[in-house]
């Protein structure tokens, strides 16, 4: 999609972080923006920022783990903005810890947002894009969808699944000769609020008891996220460029390439995986 002006983008997880930055980046291209998040207060603030760029914005409180709410977001986007062309399935959370410490609540929460959110986004929006034979779907994964760092097993599972889903979606669309594009976004550490995502955890999905080791890991990740060298705005610009160029993989951090290569080599040589954080 080389021409974005006058078209419509729908963004989940839009109240902060990468979602906010993507919404603003697409608005700067002249696109009207539909914004979804569970955080209504910050969502309204982002809508104001979007409208300052001279385009329209609508907001809807959406829990992406709930199919009916994502369907309603699609319906409201099309009804109020007239169409939809770019869909950013971006909402995400990041509870950490070794796999044996993850509670059922941890799993249900992260699978619901990180994976089911993307599943619902594709299921709800793709038919409209296919019918008009125009559009682009951007699924936010992570470098944790290409490598498997220790201490974040549940997160890795969801992000690997998003990469696999996105690759298959690309093949399915090409097999049908559809012009709808697909990108999967795989950033490393970016200064956003992802490390503090516990603030949005539903009360009925109880967190696990965290060991001292897990608490130390969380502190380390929080520090790494805050000290990320590439900003959310820069990542958003990379997304806009990828949509225009119809590029599938969006890898924003060159420094992670050796770890990705090492994983591929370990697979091809049938050897035990090396710790990507130790390379």
Q: Residue 95 — left, alpha, or beta (φ > 0 → left; ψ -120 to 50 → alpha)? A: beta
Does the structure show a pLDDT above 60 at 195? Answer: no
Asked whether residue 156 carries a pLDDT value surpassing 80, the answer given is: yes
Higher pLDDT, 216 or 136: 136
Q: Do the Cβ atoms of 21 and 236 come closer than 8 Å? A: yes
**pLDDT score of 226:** 66
Of 2 and 48, the structure prediction assigns the larger pLDDT to 48
Q: Is the pLDDT of residue 262 over 80?
A: yes
- Tell me what percent of the residues of the chain surpass a pLDDT of 90: 80
E strand spans, the chain? 8-12, 32-37, 57-61, 86-89, 136-140, 181-185, 249-250
Catalytic status, residue 249: no
Task: Summarize the confidence of residues 262-276 as an average pLDDT.
Answer: 97
Mean pLDDT of 148-159: 95
Of the pLDDT bands very low, low, confident and very high (cuts 50, 70, 90), residue 222 is low
Q: Tell me, what's the pLDDT at 190?
A: 75
- φ, ψ of residue 77 in degrees (nearest 5): -60, -50
Choose the most confident range, by mean pLDDT, from 90-94, 105-109, 134-138. 134-138
Query: What domains are there in the chain, each with its CATH number?
Result: 8-278 (3.40.50.720)
Mean pLDDT, residues 165-189 taken together = 97
- How many C-beta neighbours within 10 Å does residue 72 have? 16
32-46, 121-135, 212-226: segment of lowest average pLDDT: 212-226
CA distances from 252 to 32, 47, 188, 189 (A): 25, 26, 7, 10
Segment 164-186 shows an average pLDDT of 98
Cβ(182)–Cβ(170) under 8 Å? Answer: yes
Tell me what pLDDT residue 95 has: 84
Higher pLDDT, residue 94 or 160: 160
Least confident of 33-47, 85-99, 116-130, 181-195: 181-195
Asked whether the predicted pLDDT for residue 34 surpasses 90, the reply is: yes
pLDDT (mean) for 236-260:
96
- φ, ψ for residue 53 (rounded to 5)? -90, 10
Strand runs (DSSP E) across 84-173, as ranges?
86-89, 136-140
Contact status, residue 243 vs residue 1, Cβ threshold 8 Å: yes
158 and 194 Cβ atoms separated by less than 8 Å: no
Question: What is the reported pLDDT for 196?
Answer: 64
- The closest of 121, 140, 136 to 179, measured between CA atoms, is 136
- Interatomic CA distance for residues 46 and 48, integer angstroms: 5
The reported pLDDT for the residue numbered 203 is 81
Residues paired with 66 in a beta bridge? none
What average pLDDT score do residues 247-257 get?
95
Mean pLDDT of 105-129: 97
Q: Give the predicted TM-score (pTM) of the model.
A: 0.91
| Dist CA 28 CA 24 (whole Å) | 6
For the chain, the average pLDDT equals 93
Cα-based distances in Å from 143 to 185, 199, 238, 277: 9, 23, 15, 12
- Identify the active-site residue in 155, 170, 189, 249: 155
């Amino acid at each position: 999609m080389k021409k974005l002006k006058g078209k419509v983008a729908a963004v989940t997880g839009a109240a902060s972080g990468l979602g906010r930055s993507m919404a603003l980046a697409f608005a700067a291209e002249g696109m009207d923006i539909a914004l979804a998040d569970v955080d209504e207060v910050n969502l309204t603030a982002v809508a104001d920022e979007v409208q300052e760029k001279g385009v329209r914005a609508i907001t809807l409180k959406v829990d992406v783990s709930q199919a009916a709410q994502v369907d309603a977001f699609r319906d409201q986007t099309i009804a109020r903005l007239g169409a939809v062309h770019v869909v950013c399935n971006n909402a995400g959370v990041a509870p950490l810890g070794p796999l044996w410490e993850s509670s059922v609540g941890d799993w249900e929460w992260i699978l619901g947002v990180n994976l089911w959110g993307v599943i619902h986004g594709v299921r709800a929006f793709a038919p409209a894009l296919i019918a008009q034979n125009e559009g682009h779907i951007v699924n936010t994964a992570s470098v944790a969808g290409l490598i498997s760092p220790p201490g974040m097993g549940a997160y890795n599972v969801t992000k690997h699944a998003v990469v696999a889903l996105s690759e298959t979606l690309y093949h399915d669309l090409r097999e049908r000769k559809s012009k709808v594009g697909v990108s999967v976004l795989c950033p490393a550490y970016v200064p956003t609020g992802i490390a503090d995502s516990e603030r949005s955890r539903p009360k009925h999905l109880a967190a696990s008891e965290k060991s001292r080791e897990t608490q130390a890991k969380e502190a380390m990740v929080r520090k790494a996220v805050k000290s990320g060298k590439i900003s959310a705005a820069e990542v958003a610009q990379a997304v806009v460029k990828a949509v225009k160029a119809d590029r599938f993989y969006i890898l924003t951090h060159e420094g992670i390439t050796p770890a990705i290569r090492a994983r591929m080599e370990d697979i091809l040589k049938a050897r035990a995986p090396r710790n990507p954080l130790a390379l």
